[in-house]
Structure formats: structure tokens, C-alpha cells
Amino acid sequence: MPRFLLDARCCASCLTLRSTTGKPSWGAIADQQSEFYMYNATPQRLHFFNCSQISAAYSAFCTRAMDNNTNTHFFDGGSCIHTNNEIKPWWEADLAQTAVIVYATIYNRIDMSPERLNNFEILVDNVFCGRVNVTQHFVVTNVTCGLTGSKVRLVSQLTEHLTMCEFEPYGFYIQ
């Protein structure tokens, strides 16, 4: 069994662990007495149970970004959210339980206006987690996070429609 060295640079509630073999692993504060439980595991897909967004156009409600359908075509796939033209439009969802969010995979709409999903921030319990601001549009991107929380929010920094086809958080539930 590999030994682990604690690296607490990430944040107070998320601990990055490195085994003595040099391969990254993850751990989290896991109980109410603030004891550390360290483990070597692959982040798992975290699940949402509730969501909201600033507005909805074309009946493209928030649940479409958490339906496990990664189709990136709005009309053919029926799995993308779409807001009205808003100042800093947002989408948010509640996790099934508090978790360490290691990273998120985000699927963009590519059949029309893929540039709408750019220059956005990810927040966990209203704390900055990560940012995407690219010159070329993307189909799928990963955003590294490392925060503990129960609510995830994507906030565009544009005045535009927000379209997104899937938001998949990965990490570890805190027991």
C-alpha cells in the first residue's frame, strides 16, 4: 500500500494527496471531528437533484444540463439549456450531498453559436472554483476545481444567451 504525503495548498476543505510513488490521489475532510480520511481513488461522477437558471428560452430548462445526455445539438438532441439574452446569465444545480468537486466536464452546443459558452466562471457554494476564457470555441472542456460544497453554479461573463448541453461534476461525496 503506498504512503501518502499531505499537500494542503488546494484549500482548507480539499486536500490533494500525492503517494510516495508520485501519482496524484485525492482525499477530503470526512467527519465532524475534523479527522482526515485519506484514500486513493478515482473521482466519481457526482449527481444533481435540483437546478435553476436565470431564464429559459425555447423550453430549454435547467434539467437538460444534468440529464446524462451529452448530445451537443440543441434541436436534434433536445439536451441543451438555453437562456434568454441576459447580462451574466447563469445555471446552477444542487448536488445530491456535499462533495469535494475535483473537476467538471462541460459539453458545449456546437450546432449553432458555440461561442456563447465562453468566458464563464464556475462557483461552488458561491466561491470561485475555475474559469474558461478561450479564443476558439470548444466541444467538451474540463475545469479543475478542488472545492467542497453542495451547489455548483456556472456564470457567463458575457451579455448573451447561455447555452450548454451537459455539466458533469466529478469528485467524492463526504460521508
Q: What is the DSSP string of 106-171?
A: EE---SS-GGGS-SEEEEETTEEEEEE--SS--SEEEEEEEEEEEEEEEEESSEE--EESEEEEEE
The overall pTM is greater than 0.85: no
Q: Which residues are paired to 29 by β-bridges?
A: 36
Closest to 97 measured CA to CA, from 9, 10, 169: 169
- The pLDDT of residue 10 is 41
- The pLDDT of residue 139 is 96
- The pLDDT of residue 175 is 80
Q: What is the pLDDT along the chain (175 residues), one digit of tens a residue?
A: 333 333 333 443 444 443 333 434 444 444 444 444 445 589 999 999 999 999 999 999 999 999 999 999 998 889 999 999 999 999 999 999 999 999 999 999 999 999 999 999 999 999 999 999 998 999 999 999 999 999 999 999 999 999 999 999 999 999 8
Q: What is the CA radius of gyration of the chain?
A: 17
Asked if 131 contacts 121 with a C-beta cutoff of 8 angstroms, the reply is: yes
- The pLDDT of residue 40 is 59
Distances, alpha carbon 50 to alpha carbons 3, 91, 96, in Å = 38, 11, 8
Query: DSSP code of 174?
Result: -
- The pLDDT of residue 15 is 44
- The pLDDT of residue 36 is 44
- The pLDDT of residue 46 is 98
- CATH number 2.60.120.260 given to 45-173: yes
Domain locations along the chain: 4-41, 45-173
